């Protein structure tokens, strides 16, 4: 048999492959040498060990990708060696070679963690096929682990660009929520990065190794939304030709991100509330329910308080979702973030196009800082991508920016107020607070700019503060819960919004 193996090695076509390091553990000298020759001829780096004890010591030194080992060895048999190899991480894959008829030994080896086994006598091609499979699976698992690690690094909160105090406060809240599975409501204008914050909350939590499943509630018709959320059984409706798991089952153990939650119809709001309360779902057409363990993060750019008032959004669902409230301010309210974001988008576009662009001309920076960015970070990213595509030199010039940015049109406050359903009083309050912020908190200058006397300005600011305290107290009373410290604190302001309880630069961008 050994002669046949040797001839097979000499006659085999050699394949080009990465030089994985394989350790052959065999006490029989002739078999050990033939296995070494076979693997070496097939393109592997091969080391050998005489017996299980020597093999174990070599594995402990590291650098071995795969072990091919006999079972019957005098000093330390292959199964004991396998057990000790698998007791430490990371460990190489192991293929065991067993005697003819010893199927029980082979099964024990697999249960102990061996990738596969080969029974003597065997063809050399059989061994090499199993070796290729083992190393292929090892490479695939390593690639998946690297991708998972890359995703986690990308969505860590400290990799999100935001130097402004408001964004730093939000990052602090994300950090405090790292060990929590509490529901979170994220609000903010379109393009501010609500999904990125949701992903950051997921990938910094204990659920990071389980699925993150996003769903845009505005993109799916009501007739399909129930099936999308909760699943269905075959025959539940006309086109239900097979069973389908909903996203609550798909995300079990992980996180669901419900974007545009305000667009969910009242009947579906009631069903979603039931799932959140009972932590179980019942697919359409099913006779029973199944338990699910899911964290829900919801987001909207709508005024949910107004929708509560007019009855289009359920109050009980609102309080179930709004345990933690994070509000993302628009880009126009955090101008200190604009240039760092520009530099990030420039670096990303340059890496994609291969162009050599070193930065922005000062005039272009002034234009970028002076624009109001109604589309927020998403619009800024598109503008920089366009500029990189058009630029002919090594710096972005004013001429490379779109006309709408160069014109520096002031924000249409009336259009903004109409789109957000603001009352006259809310519009006045927002304008006054914005002027006070623009003047760095100097109320004398703010009063002059507003055409008010100082007493009137102080009175209005005190009214706004009182209204905020009353709203916070009402929210606590309506929820029926008082959140105990320190895991859950008193209502706090995060990014301009109330946090009704909390558990407790850059490289990626809220878009």
Contact 508/161 with Cβ under 8 angstroms? yes
Report the interhelical angle of 424-438 vs 454-479 (nearest 10°).
Answer: 120
In the chain, ranges of CATH 3.40.50.2300 domains: 2-150
User: Which pLDDT belongs to residue 484?
Assistant: 38
CATH number of 2-150: 3.40.50.2300
Alpha helical stretches, state H, 302-412: 304-310, 315-321, 338-353, 362-370, 376-390, 403-406
User: Which pLDDT belongs to residue 329?
Assistant: 93
70 membership: H or E segment, kind and range = strand 66-70
Contact 340/369 with Cβ under 8 angstroms? no
Query: Whole-angstrom Cα distance, residue 370 to residue 206?
Result: 41
User: Which pLDDT belongs to residue 420?
Assistant: 62
CA torsion angle for 480, 486, 487, 491 (degrees, to 10)?
A: 50
Contact 367/408 with Cβ under 8 angstroms? yes
Contact 326/187 with Cβ under 8 angstroms? yes
- Please give the C-alpha separations between residue 164 and each of 50, 199, 272, 328, 338, in angstroms, as whole numbers: 64, 20, 36, 12, 10
Query: Whole-angstrom Cα distance, residue 407 to residue 326?
Result: 33
Q: Which residues of 298-314 are buried (b: 16+ CB within 10 A; e: fewer)?
A: bbbbbbbebbbeeeebb
Q: What is the DSSP letter of 508?
A: B
- The dihedral built from the CA positions of residue 454, 460, 461 and 463, taken in this order, carries a sign that is positive
Does residue 414 sit in helix, strand or coil?
Answer: helix
In the chain, ranges of CATH 3.40.50.300 domains: 160-329+491-499
CA neighbours closer than 13 Å in the CB half-sphere of residue 164 = 20
- Please give the C-alpha separations between residue 101 and each of 104, 121, 213, 335, 360, in angstroms, as whole numbers: 8, 11, 49, 75, 74
Query: Whole-angstrom Cα distance, residue 506 to residue 348?
Result: 12
Q: Which residue has the tokens 């130097």?
A: 163
Phi, psi angle pair for 265, to nearest 5°: -70, 155
Contact 73/27 with Cβ under 8 angstroms? yes
Q: What is the DSSP letter of 15?
A: P
Span between the terminal Cα atoms of the chain, in Å: 66
Which fold is adopted by the domain 160-329+491-499? Rossmann fold (3.40.50)
Query: Whole-angstrom Cα distance, residue 135 to residue 93?
Result: 8
pLDDT in single tens digits along all 511 residues of the chain = 444 444 444 444 444 445 788 999 988 888 888 888 889 888 898 999 988 889 888 988 888 889 998 888 888 888 888 888 888 777 889 988 887 557 788 888 888 888 888 888 888 888 899 999 988 888 887 777 666 565 555 555 556 788 888 898 998 898 899 888 999 999 999 999 999 999 989 988 899 889 999 999 999 998 889 999 999 988 888 888 888 889 999 999 999 999 999 999 999 999 999 999 999 999 988 888 999 999 999 999 999 989 999 999 999 999 999 999 999 999 988 988 999 999 999 998 998 888 999 999 999 999 998 899 999 999 999 999 999 999 999 999 999 999 989 886 555 566 566 656 678 888 888 889 888 887 778 888 888 888 988 889 989 898 888 776 665 555 455 444 444 333 333 334 445 444 443 333 344 444 4
Query: Whole-angstrom Cα distance, residue 200 to residue 158?
Result: 9
User: Which pLDDT belongs to residue 490?
Assistant: 34
In DSSP notation, 460-503 reads HHHHHHHHHHHHHHHHHHHHT----TTTS-S-EEETTEEE----
User: Which pLDDT belongs to residue 408?
Assistant: 65
In the chain, ranges of CATH 1.10.8.60 domains: 332-406
The CATH class given to the 332-406 domain equals: mainly alpha
Q: Which residue has the tokens 């600011």?
A: 461
Query: Whole-angstrom Cα distance, residue 86 to residue 432?
Result: 66
């Amino acid at each position: 048999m050994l002669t046949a193996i040797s001839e097979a090695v000499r006659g085999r076509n050699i394949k080009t492959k990465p030089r994985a390091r394989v350790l052959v553990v065999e006490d029989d000298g002739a078999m050990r040498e033939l296995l070494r020759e076979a693997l070496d001829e097939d393109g592997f780096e091969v080391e050998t060990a005489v017996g299980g004890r020597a093999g174990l010591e070599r594995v402990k030194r590291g650098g071995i990708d795969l072990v091919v080992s006999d079972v019957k060895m005098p000093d330390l048999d292959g199964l004991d060696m396998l057990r000790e190899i698998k007791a430490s991480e990371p460990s190489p894959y192991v293929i065991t070679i067993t005697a003819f008829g010893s199927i029980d030994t082979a099964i024990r080896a697999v249960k102990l963690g061996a990738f596969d086994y080969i029974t003597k006598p065997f063809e050399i091609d059989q061994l090499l096929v199993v070796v290729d499979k083992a190393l292929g699976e090892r490479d695939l698992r390593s690639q998946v682990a690297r991708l998972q690690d890359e995703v986690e690094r990308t969505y860590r909160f400290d990799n999100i660009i935001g130097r402004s105090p408001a964004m730093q406060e939000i990052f602090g809240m994300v950090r405090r929520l790292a060990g929590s599975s509490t529901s979170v409501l994220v609000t903010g204008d379109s393009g501010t990065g609500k999904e990125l914050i949701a992903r950051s909350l997921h990938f910094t939590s204990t659920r990071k190794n389980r699925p993150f499943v996003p769903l845009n509630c505005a993109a799916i018709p009501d007739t399909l939304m129930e099936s999308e959320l909760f699943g269905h059984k075959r025959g539940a409706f006309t086109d239900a030709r097979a069973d389908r798991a909903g996203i609550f089952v798909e995300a079990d153990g992980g996180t669901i991100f419900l974007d545009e939650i305000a667009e969910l119809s009242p009947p579906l709001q009631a069903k979603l509330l039931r799932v959140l309360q009972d932590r179980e779902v019942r697919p359409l057409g099913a006779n029973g329910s199944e338990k699910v363990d899911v964290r829900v993060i919801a987001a909207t750019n709508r005024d949910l308080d107004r929708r509560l008032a007019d009855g289009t959004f359920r109050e009980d669902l609102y309080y179930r979702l709004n345990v933690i409230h994070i509000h993302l301010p628009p880009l126009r309210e955090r101008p200190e973030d604009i240039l760092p974001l520009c530099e990030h988008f420039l670096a990303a576009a340059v890496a994609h196009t291969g162009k050599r662009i070193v930065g922005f001309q000062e005039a272009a920076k002034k234009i970028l800082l002076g624009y109001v960015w109604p589309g927020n970070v998403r619009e800024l990213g598109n503008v920089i991508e366009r500029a990189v595509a058009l630029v002919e030199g090594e710096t972005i010039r004013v001429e490379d920016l779109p006309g709408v940015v160069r014109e520096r049109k002031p924000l249409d406050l009336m259009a903004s107020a109409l789109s957000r359903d603001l009352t006259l009083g809310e519009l006045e309050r927002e304008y006054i607070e914005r002027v006070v912020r623009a003047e760095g908190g100097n109320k004398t200058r703010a009063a002059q700019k507003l055409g008010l006397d100082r007493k009137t300005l102080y009175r209005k600011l005190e009214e706004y503060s009182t209204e905020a305290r009353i709203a916070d107290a009402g929210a606590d009373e309506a929820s029926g819960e008082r959140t105990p410290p320190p895991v859950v604190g008193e209502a706090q302001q995060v990014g301009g919004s109330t946090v009704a309880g909390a558990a407790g630069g850059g490289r990626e961008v809220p878009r």
